[in-house]
Amino acid sequence: MAKTIQAIRGMNDCSPTESPLWQWVESKVRNVLQSYGYSEVRMPIVESTPLFARAIGEVTDVVSKEMYTFWDNDEQLTLRPEGTAGCVRAAIEHGWIYNNEQRLWYMGPMFRHERPQKGRYRQFHQAGVEIFGIANPEIDAELILLTARLWKELGIEQHVSLQLNSIGSLEARKNYRSALVEFLQQHIDLLSDEEKERLEKNPLRILDSKNQALQDVLNGAPKLLDYLDEESRVHFAQLCTLLDQMGIAYEVNPKLVRGLDYYNKTVFEWVTNALGAQGTVCGGGRYDGLVEQLGGHATTGVGFAMGLERLVLLVQEVNHQIALPRAVDIYMVYSGEGTTLPAFQLAEKLRENLPHLRIMTHCSGGNFKKQFKRADKVGANFALVIGETEAATQQVVVKDLLAGTQQVLSLDNVVDYLHKAF
Ligand code: ATP
Ligand code: MG
């Protein structure tokens, strides 16, 4: 036998038994987004590399070590590691946001060269939202309400909690950065080599260090919230008030800064304890400078992205109530001279009249016994049986596979009968 070829590490197949749950999660996501009046956009999976370098920032983990980049003749291209950059690029390119508000969403694969583990893959999927042209905190609150509604729909609301912070303006962050660096320099011996490098390039990232000794010290570090500019302070206070009034629980986490450069003001993450180390299921925030930074007219932005693998894992972990649709409702069984055509015709007639039913036609020959086995295996409720007698008399045997009963119906009555049965 020829040698088999395997999938790339960290890039998963979705099996026929897993896809119903994925479809269920995706349809919940889609329905909730649409129920808020948001519009879907679809962007390419490949973009030119400088887009990500400029949008996400050269010194972030994503750009500095996680991107899949290659040359296409003399152009450097990258498999998208996230959706915001491409969405902003498209919005500017097509004038979607020129003097116009937009509430957009997308869903699809993202690529990051990370060490694969549970909840962390090299090809993973995100659903994301980007809102352009709305500056006030009401829309930040709406995004959080929307995600909270989705958690409820997915049955995971008891297992996620909201972390919230404001990282202020660029100016405020600069001031804070100096204070933080000064503080960290007094504890330099606690910093790993990587963190020492971050101290120069991106010191705010040190706040989410995994090092417990450093974390203890960081509790005494200057707090970003104390350095906020007035506008960001008011924005954050209004957001918190609206969330309180709407009954959304959150924890203000002064150490939450998010990995990407483009955020300002509001940042948030939904986290869970149920997935081990990969606890963030959704992260987002405001990025009022990004559109201008990428060459568009100054337009505010706010959005989030959620990891679908982590949501699927979480649903599997905590929600055991889901009734996923059966792949097959009715199995069409036929055997003998002249039975193929009436079976095919009946199956098509049912699909025409009862489009919500899933009807599988046997197709692969063999005796009745083999075919009934197959019907059981695919989980069908009913088998419709056409033998030579039925073919000759324009009839069909309707077998209820769960109840173990059966009856003979004329072909003309089958649609009515099944309509009532399902
Ligand atoms: P993490 O801290 O877990 O690396 P991140 O801050 O890099 O996450 P974002 O860039 O904010 O993640 O992406 C939003 C969401 O996408 C994350 O909260 C997570 O649910 C999901 N996600 C990010 N990277 C991966 C990955 N490699 N595999 C699976 N899901 C991912
Ligand atoms: Mg990451």
Kindly write down the DSSP assignment for every residue of 100-135, as one continuous string.
--EEEEEEEEEE-----BTTB-SEEEEEEEEEES--
H-type helices in 10-73, by residue range?
Answer: 19-35, 49-56, 61
What number of other Cβ atoms are within 10 A of residue 62's Cβ?
A: 20
**178 sits in which H/E element:** helix 170-185
Quick one: CA dihedral 84, 90, 95, 96, positive or negative? negative
CA 203 and chain centroid, separation: 29
Judge if the beta carbon of residue 257 lies within 6 A of ligand 1.
no
Check if the beta carbon of residue 406 is closer than 8 Å to that of residue 400: yes
Residues whose CB falls within 8 Å of the CB of residue 212, separated by 6 or more in sequence, listed in order: none
In Å, how far are 54, 111, 193, 203, 225 from 200, measured between CA atoms?
Answer: 19, 27, 12, 6, 21
Residue 123 burial (CB count, 10 A) = 18
255 contacts 298 by C-beta, under 8 angstroms: no
Domain 330-421 grouped into CATH 3.30.930.10? no
Q: Give me the helices (H) in 224-330, please.
A: 230-245, 290-293, 308-318
Nearest to 126 by CA among 166, 86, 78: 86
d(CA 288, CA 300): 4
Tell me, in angstroms, the distance from the centre of ligand 2 to residue 388's CA. Answer: 63
Give the separation between CA 395 and CA 379, rounded to whole angstroms.
24
Residue whose CA is closest, atom 11 of ligand 1? 283
Phi, psi angles (nearest 5°) of residue 154: -85, -5
- Asked if 243 and 143 touch (Cβ cutoff 8 Å), the reply is no
Residue with the smallest CA separation from ligand 1 atom 12 is: 283
282 lines ligand 1 (CB under 6 A): yes
Nearest Cα neighbor of 291 from 130, 167, 171, 77 is 130
3-class secondary structure, 402: coil
Q: What is the pLDDT along the chain (422 residues), one digit of tens a residue?
A: 899 999 999 999 999 999 999 999 999 999 999 999 999 999 999 999 999 999 998 888 899 999 999 999 999 999 999 999 999 999 999 999 999 999 999 999 999 999 999 999 999 999 999 999 999 999 999 999 999 999 999 999 999 999 999 999 988 998 999 999 999 999 999 999 989 988 988 899 898 888 888 999 999 999 999 999 999 999 999 999 999 999 999 999 998 988 677 789 999 999 999 999 889 999 999 999 999 999 999 999 999 999 999 999 999 999 888 988 888 999 999 999 999 999 999 999 999 999 999 999 999 999 999 999 999 999 999 999 999 999 999 999 999 999 999 999 999 999 999 999 99
Ligand nearest the Cα of residue 111 is 1
- Which CATH architecture group holds 19-168+250-318? 2-Layer Sandwich (3.30)
What is the best residue among 126, 150, 161, 287 to mutate for testing ligand 1's pocket, by most ligand atoms within 8 Å of CB? 126
- Max CA distance (Å), the chain: 93
Cβ of 278 closer than 6 Å to ligand 1, yes or no, is yes
Whole-model pTM? Answer: 0.94
* CATH 3.30.930.10 residue spans of the chain: 19-168+250-318
| Residue 259 CA to ligand 2 centre (angstroms) | 7
Residue 358 and residue 328 in contact, taking contact as beta carbons nearer than 8 Å: yes
Does the CB atom of residue 167 touch ligand 1 within 6 A? no
CATH 3.40.50.800 domain residues, the chain: 330-421
Q: Given the structure tokens 């997308």, which residue do they identify?
A: 106
Which ligand lies nearest the alpha carbon of 283?
A: 1
Please say whether the beta carbons of 238 and 137 come within 8 A: yes
Give me 166's structure tokens.
Answer: 């404001």
CA–CA dist 235, 137 (Å, integer)? 6
Centre of ligand 1 to C-alpha 391, Å, is: 58
Residue position matching structure tokens 């450069």: 261
Q: Whose CA is nearest to atom 22 of ligand 1?
A: 307
284 alpha carbon, closest ligand: 1
Secondary-structure percent of the chain, ordered helix, strand, coil, rounded to 5? 40, 20, 35
